[in-house]
Structure 1
Amino acid sequence: MAATQYMTDGQGPTISMLAAGDASDMLSGYTLIEHLAQNKTAKVAQIGKLVDEQAKAHDQAQQKITDLQKEIKDLASQKKRIEALVKKYKPQSPSVGMGGVTPRMANVKTVIDQEEGPFPTIGCVRHTGDPQDHGTGHACDFMVTTGGVMATGAAKAHGDATAAYAIAHASALGIKYIIWRQRIYDLRSPGWRMMENRGGVTANHYDHVHISVF
């Protein structure tokens, strides 16, 4: 009634009907009220139907989101399982000089090969040239190229990733230092530092990552 009064300048059909002196006017007023009531009822029903449909659509959308989240979780679980299987059964790198390797170096060699391999070859114990930690079984060279070829492109990226992994896990693995691309990263004084030029690709560690352990 208030809305009707507002739209008709305060003279709604109900008031008009009650104020009408003529019976036909009262009947006309009643008919108008009935028409407005039915019209409003239909609109309310239509709005209610839309609200119900919207609520149903929201519930369906929420169920789809829940289902998708479950699928994503299942796929993530399968991905981790497959990655673990790939690491477990992927080809191992050919290795030389494993006799006399310390248990810690042997563990580092296994972990690095599993996480960053395979490599063309991994060389550990040797007594020729300037063996240093190689002579005592405390070092291995993880080759990313063969034949003394300088690592570029994918091979360089492989060496970068290997060196980065060794640095990131040095504390847990007991790594003492890493040499790569004529630079040394000593965990006792962290940070890359350039080394003197030893005169060749292999001597300057441009084709392999050298890892020494404590």
Structure 2
Amino acid sequence: MALAAVLVAPSAAHAAPDDVDIDELNERAEELEETYEGELLQYNEIKERAEQAEEDLEEVEEKLEGSRSSVVQIAAGQYKSSGLDPTLEVLFTASPEHLFQDTSTMEQLGRQQAGRISELVRLQEERKEISEEAEKELSEAEELLDTLEEDREEVEEAIERYEAEQVPEEPEETSGASTGGTVPEHLKGWGFDGATPRMAAIRDEIILNVGSPYEVGCARSSNDDHGTGQACDFMVSVIGTHPSAENRAAGDAIAQYAIDHVDRLGVKYVIWEQRIWHSTNRQWVAMNNRGSVTENHYDHVHISSY
């Protein structure tokens, strides 16, 4: 069928890439995700058609069985009243359409009933063909989804391998790498000492080279990078409020410093003003509105490390 051909065709274009850069991997991942979602919609539509075809076939078969029972009753009545040939008893347990292949039998049992059974037999064959075609399409769609899922997993694994290769060596020191010095006490916020060595090195270097208008908090009990000590929040205003123009510029400078030194420092991603910059795609991407100044990262710059 034409639809089956359309479903199978894309699989050849989705072989997992080898030795490609991260931009190509991310582009392929997005392409596979979109294709998978589209094929999943088609699969669900085909599944509904297959289920409906099966129901239609069962309905016709039930009607056919009902007509067959009627034929048996009519034949039995004819036999009692007019002495129908006893050999018809053999036909009572056979397919009802066979009962009407004999002209005299058709006249005895009624042409109307014979015509109804003949039509039901035709519908049965038609519904059976439709059901078989739908099941075939469903099987092809399932195979395509499996192939796309395998391709998605291969690309995701390639991205993970790439990210793992980008992780720099763990720094030995935790204080400012380029200037030396000590972080002022008033900038040490919640969980300051709970940062990992790498995150502490990133934090201290930014504070000593760029500065921070308000305190910097790091580790806390959570399921994100803060929970593992791999993230710090550089506050640029009182929590829950928008920063002044000067402090907003300071936030820009903090975020840009992390981006400019992403590889050397081991920065994983930066979140600032409802945008995220990830080391894998290296561009700002808008984020969904989370409903508050703090959740949308307008009052602080979030920096995560590997």
Q: Same fold (TM over 0.5)?
A: yes
Q: How does 1:113-124 map to 2 (within 5 A)?
A: 113-124=207-218
Instruction: State whether structure 2 residue 191 is matched by structure 1 residue 97.
Output: yes
Any idea what the Cα deviations from partners look like across 1:155-181, whole Å, max 9, x if unmatched? Answer: 110001111111001111000000000
TM-aligned CA distance change 1:105 to 1:181, over 3 Å: same
Structure 2 partner of 1:142: 234
Which of the pair is proportionally richer in strand?
Answer: 1
3-state secondary structure, aligned to 1:210: strand
Q: Distance in 2 between matches of 1:96 and 1:123?
A: 5
Q: Which has the higher helix share?
A: 2
Q: 1:126 Cα shift?
A: 1.1
Counterpart in 2 of 1:108? 202
- How many residues of Structure 1 are paired with residues of Structure 2 in the alignment? 128
| Displacement over 2 Å in runs of 4+ | 87-92
Q: 1:90 to 1:126 in 2, by over 3 A?
A: closer
Contact 1:91 1:118 in 2 (8 A): no
1:125 aligns with 2:219: yes
Partner deviation per Cα, 1:112-146 (whole Å, 9 max, x = no partner)? 11111133111101115xx4100011000000101
* Residue number among 278, 282, 294 corresponding to 1:202 in the alignment: 294
What residue ranges of structure 1 are gaps of 5+ in the alignment?
Answer: 1-83
What is the CA distance between 1:96 and its match in structure 2? 1.8
Q: Of the candidates 253, 256, 259, which is equivalent to residue 161 of structure 1?
A: 253
Q: For 1:172, which of 253, 264, 268 is the aligned residue?
A: 264
Where do 5+ consecutive residues of structure 2 fail to align? 1-177
Question: How far is 1:89 from its partner?
Answer: 6.6
Residue identity over aligned pairs, in percent, reads 46
Task: Give the alignment's TM-score, normalised by structure 1.
Answer: 0.56
What does the per-residue CA deviation read over 1:4-57, in whole Å, with 9 as the maximum and x for residues that have no partner?
xxxxxxxxxxxxxxxxxxxxxxxxxxxxxxxxxxxxxxxxxxxxxxxxxxxxxx
Q: Which residue, 244, 259, 266 being the options, matches 1:152?
A: 244
The amino acid that maps onto 2:199 is M
Contact 2:183–2:207 (8 Å) recurs in 1: no
Instruction: Kindly indicate whether structure 1 or structure 2 has the higher relative contact order, using CA contacts under 8 Å at least 6 residues apart.
Output: 2
Q: d(CA) in 2 for partners of 1:164 and 1:94?
A: 21
- Contact 1:113–1:119 under 8 Å retained in 2: no
Q: Which amino acid aligns with 1:112?
A: I
Instruction: Provide the C-alpha distance between the structure 1 equivalents of 2:301 and 2:252, rounded to a whole number of angstroms.
Output: 9
The 8 Å contact of residues 170 and 176 in structure 1, kept in 2 or not, is answered as yes
